[in-house]
Amino acid sequence: MAESVGTIQNKANEKLTKQSNFISDALVNKLLADIGLISKNNRLVFDTDYFSQLENRIINYTKELGYDKMVNSYLSNYDKVYDNLENYYARQKILLENEAINERINEIYRKQLADSFALENAINARDLARTLREQALLGMTIKEAQANMKALSSSPSNSSQTVMTYRIDQVVHDAIMQYDGLHNANIAQQYDLKDFYYFSSIIETSRPICTHIKDTFPGIITKEQLKTVLDEYCPNGQPSKKKIEYETVNGVIRTLQKGSGMIDGTNISNFAVNRGGYRCRHEVKFTFSTKSSKDIAKSIIDSLD
């Protein structure tokens, strides 16, 4: 049985964090070793040749440490998402091969994510280089510079992640789930599917809209039912600021805005992609469910024979 997309995402992010933390720590150690090249009398000096090439030096260091391999490893999870889609829609009597999976979407989406990784690496190189330049211009002691560089190996907002890892996580955290959603939306459009399942369970931190959907619609959700939910929780694509009191899965009573965590612009057309919002682990999977859909399903199946 194929893994759920949420499981694929969690495993991919856990591996990404470990790999990125390793690269970040090793990168700082390489730069600490470089300090000997730009110091005199126990203080940093501004070496024009060294600093003019520093960003490129840092990017090359990350490549040596496996940054590109890390990126390719993360992107390979899209193949697992394809397996998940293929297995699910086979049970719906929909064959994805050369039909619903748009290779152009695959190409574009993977390139976008690869570009995001490359951009984050460039930003990290720029920030590290700027830190070293500033320290050299101030004539800091080697000991002070080493302490400042080591501080870059931790993030003030999450002690388990380096600064570089934290930024990468912010950029790609929802990428696999949204990639799955994009294909599901594409499949729904091609096959005129309107009803769906909202897979994954509710956890303590689930958003009000996800909690409401799972509590109210334990099975199939229709397009009309989704419209009613979005009119209440994200009217006209704007997450509702109206406060709601609801009970969490552990019985805790919480008060939040109805649209808490949702993405601006969420509507029926893009709900499969945006779902409950940032870091949402729920999956939209479309289905032939109602009696009126059965005739459509038969005609599609016949067309695939």
Query: Nearest-5° angle of CA 104, CA 108, CA 113?
Result: 150
pLDDT of res. 297 = 46
Rounded Cα distance, 42 and 36, in Å: 9
pLDDT tens by residue, 65-122: 999 999 999 999 998 998 898 888 888 777 665 554 566 777 888 899 999 999 999 9
DSSP annotation string for 115-146: HHHHHHHHHHHHHHHHHHHHHHHTT-BHHHHH
Rounded Cα distance, 6 and 12, in Å: 10
Other CB atoms within a 10 A radius of the CB of residue 296 amount to 15
Under-50 pLDDT residues of the chain: 100, 291-294, 296-301, 303-305
Q: Please check whether residue 24 is in contact with residue 164, taking contact to mean a CB–CB distance below 8 angstroms.
A: yes
pLDDT of res. 144 = 87
